[in-house]
Amino acid sequence: MQRALDILNHTFGYHEFRHHQADIVKTVLAGQDALVLMPTGGGKSLCYQIPALVRDGVGIVVSPLIALMQDQVDALLQVGIRAAFINSSQGAEQQRLTEQALLTGDVDIVYVAPERLLTDRMLDILDRAKISLFAIDEAHCVSQWGHDFRREYQQLSILHQRFPSVPRIALTATADGRTRDEIIAQLDLGSAAVFVNSFDRPNIRYTISEGLNSRDRLLSFLNQEHAGDAGIVYCLSRKKVESVAEWLSSKGKIALPYHAGLPVEVRQLHQQRFLREESVVIVATIAFGMGIDKPDVRFVAHLSLPKSIEAYYQETGRAGRDGQPANAWMAYGLQDVITLRQMVLDTDAHEQFKRAQHGKLESMLGLCELSSCRRQALLAYFDETLSEPCGNCDTCLHPPETWDGTQSARKALSCVFRTGQRFGVNYLIDVLLGKDNERIQNNLHHKLSTYGIGEEHTGVEWRGVYRQLIALGYLTADLEGHGTLLLTEKSRPLLRGEQQLQLRKQRKTEKTRKEKTNRPQVDLSEDDDVLFRVLRGHRLSLARERGVPSYVIFHDRTLQEMAVRRPESLAEMGEISGIGEHKLEAFGESFLELITA
């Protein structure tokens, strides 16, 4: 452990372990297996990188994405660690050289995709090499119940069978109880030590609202709180990604689309620009994000509803990895609910899987329609208790008003029943409002008892009622994909008048409030801020010279500490968090010159 602490200090530039890192490192150094659940930005990578450097042999890291491998290797090379990857982005000669280095021990850590690891050729190379450990990153990919399922991960139990004396460490930032159980079962980790850190990310502010005028509200949110910041906007469909990126670009933002339908080289270019440039906004489907290590993502916005709380947690967790304040902002609408439910029903999966996915979506909807603290509910989903409301989510900062929606809900449900459960939301609202149109006349629905009984609400307000009734499970979409609404068993007591129902009052506008700001709070004087910006500019030049993201040189927090402390020697600079010996030697003098100037 002393050797591990020396590496933490001198190589990575950190003074002490945090969370459960020390216990995890100790476990793996002793040759035991470990399962690690730690939130994004919590320092998972160090839990296998340091033991790989202390133990004899080469650390093999199973990683699902080429971009993630590149990012991790770039960062390790900058601190003087011999790291490499083997993947399809390389030529045959480069792969051969890395394989040779693995066999001779001339590399410390090698990243490889599960598909390649499972080939006979790679397993034969590993048989002949000295392996210090196996790290299985993004381990939730093993679970068919999870949101990033990859079938190859389920075959990784071969590592235990083939290399029984080599310790394995499986790591993930997202896993509910069922997913944890499956990770243990599928990877044969029954005797592993399990480390579960708090899932709480107190620096992230959660805000969820109705999907009215969502684009305009997104633009207002970006202009007021995140002008010039890097962030991610998630959308459900490729078409929406394209249109939102184009629209944001027309409003003066550097907005780039990312989805699986784009050519590989375009996706790679957009991801590289996001990682290496400042102020870039990526508009993406869920195809983007896993393994994104960019620490200064200041916001994650959703213009569509995520499929589950795990997906929401994973996606929002890409904000504020540096521990500085960040925003998770979402606007969702009725159509999102119907579309996602239909996507679950339309899969070829077995009924048990469909029921599980439906349950996850219901939990996500429940989080959206809460009138109590969102963080408490989010953490409760992962079996963690937050004793007090967080004070840093929209429902804590601006508690929503509720109203007795019993009669309105009964009218809405009754209209579904009277029209034969054959119509979608827009038509039902027209009936409730007593619209005189040809379709209603042809269906003779102007003669129904529910025709025109809803004039106390506007069409927008009725839409909010229907959205909440769907979210709360009183209505569901049909199996044919036409948006037809059907009553559920849960609606019976409400229709009979045996139950009362409180609904959230819809906010007409999102007013800007001073206390809503959630920008990084750094205690920099005016002079310190000028120096910080100069240091950032120098960092960007160094990063471009080396073809790496800026944060691989130094994180913002390290530069901020430089600006405040103003070291006068390399020895003083070496005391700043995040500056190890290799980086001090490579970059120290040039930063000292700027500080002195």
Is 330 a domain residue? yes
SS3 content of the chain, % helix, strand, coil (to 5): 50, 15, 40
Residue type, 397: L
Pairing mode of beta strands 83-86, 168-172: unpaired
Is 520 a domain residue? no
Question: Quick one: average pLDDT of 475-482?
Answer: 61
CA 336 from chain center: how many Å?
19
Is 109 a domain residue? yes
Which pLDDT belongs to residue 478? 63
Distances from the Cα of 58 to the Cα of 12, 247, 547, angstroms: 19, 48, 26
Residue 399 has pLDDT above 50, yes or no: yes
Average pLDDT, the chain: 88
Element (H, E) at 302: strand 299-302
Tokens of 343: 């996507």
Question: Quick one: average pLDDT of 510-533?
Answer: 68
Q: How far apart are CA 70 and CA 113, in angstroms?
A: 12
Q: Report yes or no: 241 and 285 within 8 Å, Cβ to Cβ.
A: yes
Q: Are residues 340 and 447 in the same domain?
A: no
Q: Are residues 365 and 484 in the same domain?
A: no
Distances from the Cα of 523 to the Cα of 176, 490, 532, 551, 561, angstroms: 37, 53, 12, 20, 10
* Residue 390, domain CATH: 3.40.50.300
Residue 517 has pLDDT above 60, yes or no: no
Which pLDDT belongs to residue 571? 92
Return the DSSP state at 297: -
Is 516 a domain residue? no
Residue 291 confidence class, pLDDT cut points 50, 70, 90? low
Q: How do residues 321-338 score in pLDDT, each as one tens digit?
A: 888 899 999 998 877 877
Q: How do residues 153-171 score in pLDDT, each as one tens digit?
A: 889 999 999 999 999 999 9
Question: Quick one: average pLDDT of 206-212?
Answer: 86
Q: Report yes or no: 358 and 344 within 8 Å, Cβ to Cβ.
A: yes
Q: How do residues 580-593 score in pLDDT, each as one tens digit?
A: 999 999 999 999 99
Q: Are residues 176 and 80 in the same domain?
A: yes
Element (H, E) at 23: helix 21-29
Question: Quick one: average pLDDT of 559-569?
Answer: 93
Half-sphere exposure in the Cβ direction for 451 (13 Å, CA): 14
Q: Are residues 496 and 545 in the same domain?
A: no
Return the DSSP state at 7: I
- Tell me which residue has tokens 């009622």: 465
Strongest mean pLDDT among 81-95, 118-132, 277-291:
118-132
Last residue of a domain, one of 371, 397, 423: 397
Query: Which range marks the domain in which residue 98 is found?
Result: 2-196
Q: Are residues 217 and 339 in the same domain?
A: yes
Q: Are residues 419 and 376 in the same domain?
A: no
Q: What percent of the chain has pLDDT over 90?
A: 56
State the first-to-last Cα distance of the chain, in angstroms, to the nearest integer.
Answer: 41
Q: Where are the alpha helices (DSSP H) in 105-207?
A: 114-117, 120-128, 158-162, 177-186
Half-sphere exposure in the Cβ direction for 493 (13 Å, CA): 6
Q: Are residues 250 and 189 in the same domain?
A: no
Is 514 a domain residue? no
Residue 64 has pLDDT above 80, yes or no: yes
- Tell me which residue has tokens 């290590």: 293
Q: For the chain, how many structural domains are there in total?
A: 4
Pairing mode of beta strands 326-332, 204-210: parallel
User: Which residues make beta-bridge pairs with 35?
Assistant: 170, 194
Residue 480 confidence class, pLDDT cut points 50, 70, 90? very low
Q: Are residues 88 and 160 in the same domain?
A: yes
Residue 479 confidence class, pLDDT cut points 50, 70, 90? very low
238-247, 470-479, 538-547: which range is least confident on average? Answer: 470-479
Is 515 a domain residue? no
Quick one: angle between helices 214-225 and 238-250, nearest 10?
Answer: 50
Which pLDDT belongs to residue 151? 81
CA 4 from chain center: how many Å?
30
Which pLDDT belongs to residue 519? 59
Is 521 a domain residue? no
Which pLDDT belongs to residue 40? 77
Is 493 a domain residue? yes
Q: Are residues 416 and 451 in the same domain?
A: yes
136 against 335, higher pLDDT: 136
Residue 512 has pLDDT above 50, yes or no: no
Q: Report yes or no: 343 and 224 within 8 Å, Cβ to Cβ.
A: no
From 324, 309, 298, select the one nearest 224 (Cα to Cα).
Answer: 298
Phi and psi at residue 135, in whole multiples of 5°? -110, 125
Half-sphere exposure in the Cβ direction for 240 (13 Å, CA): 15
Return the DSSP state at 400: P
Q: Are residues 148 and 294 in the same domain?
A: no
Q: Report yes or no: 34 and 27 within 8 Å, Cβ to Cβ.
A: yes
Residue 58 has pLDDT above 50, yes or no: yes
Q: How far apart are CA 308 and CA 316, in angstroms?
A: 12
